[in-house]
Amino acid sequence: MKIALMDSGIGLLAAAAALRKQRPDVDLVLSSNPASMPWGPRTPEEVAELALGCCRAAAALEPDALVIACNTASVHALATLRAELEPGLPVVGTVPAIKPAAVRGGRVAIWATPATTGSAYQRGLIRDFGGSADITEVACPGLADAVEHGDDEAVTAAIADAAARTPAGTDAIVLGCTHYELVDDRIRAAVAPTAAPGLTLHGSADAVAAQAIRRVADPTRTGTGTLTVLHAGIPAHLPPAAALYPQGNALATLIG
C-alpha cells in the first residue's frame, strides 16, 4: 500500500505518523512546497495552483490514495483536485474536527489560519456540526510558518497571541491547521490556565489516516515501509525542523 500526502510544508507529518501507526507497512510519499509558505495569506487561486503542483508530483508515483493534509488547501482546492485526479486516485481532504469537539456542547474554539478562519467552508461546518456549542473562531497568524521553520520564539509568541483571544472557560480547541498538531502540547499549556477543567484538543490526523486507508481499492496490499519526500516535485529529504517534533522523529530514520 502506498499513500501520498500533500501540504504546504511539514504539517503533513501528523497524518503521516498516524498512517504509519495504523499501517506500519505503508509506503509514504510526502509532497510539499515549503518555499511557497505560508499559504494562509494567499488567494484561493494561488492555493489551488500550488496544491495542484504538489498533487501532480505525488500522483506521478502512482499512490493508492492521496491525502490533502492541509486545511487551507482543502478549503480552497479540494474540488479542483478531485476533479482532476478522481476516480483514478482517491483524494481525501482534511476537515477541522468540529463535530467531535462540539458533540457535548460547551465552549469551543477553532484555531485556524487567517485564510480558513471566517471562510464560507468553515462557517458551513460550524452550521452543520456545531450543534449547541458556543463556538469562537480564532485566527492564528504566523503560527504555521513558525512551526514550519522550527522558530521556537515565534511559535511561543503566536500561541500566546491566539491563547489571549481564546475565551476563558473554553472546553475544547479544534486544531484547524495540520501544522498546529505538531505543537499541541504547547497550545494546551498556553490555554490551560484560563480553560475549563478537562480541556480537550481535537486534531484531524487519526481520522484522516483511517479514511485514506478505507479509500484504498485493495487494503490488503502490503508495502515495505518506505518514505519518499518531494519538494516542489523534486526528490528531497525531511527538513531539519521536522526533527523538532515527535511525528518527524518517527519518520526521520526511513528512506525511500
- How far is residue 80's CA from residue 99's CA, in Å, rounded to a whole number? 25
- How far is residue 149's CA from residue 64's CA, in Å, rounded to a whole number? 30
Q: Is 55 a catalytic residue?
A: no
Sheet arrangement for strand 107-112? 134-139, 107-112, 172-175, 200-202
Catalytic residue among 54, 55, 70, 140: 70
Q: Is 177 a catalytic residue?
A: yes
- Closest to 238 in 3D by CA, of 132, 123, 148: 148
Which residues, at least 6 apart from 60, have a Cβ–Cβ distance to it below 8 Å? none
Which residue spans within 140-221 are E strands per DSSP?
172-175, 200-202
Catalytic residue among 54, 55, 140, 177: 177
Residues recognised as catalytic: 70, 177
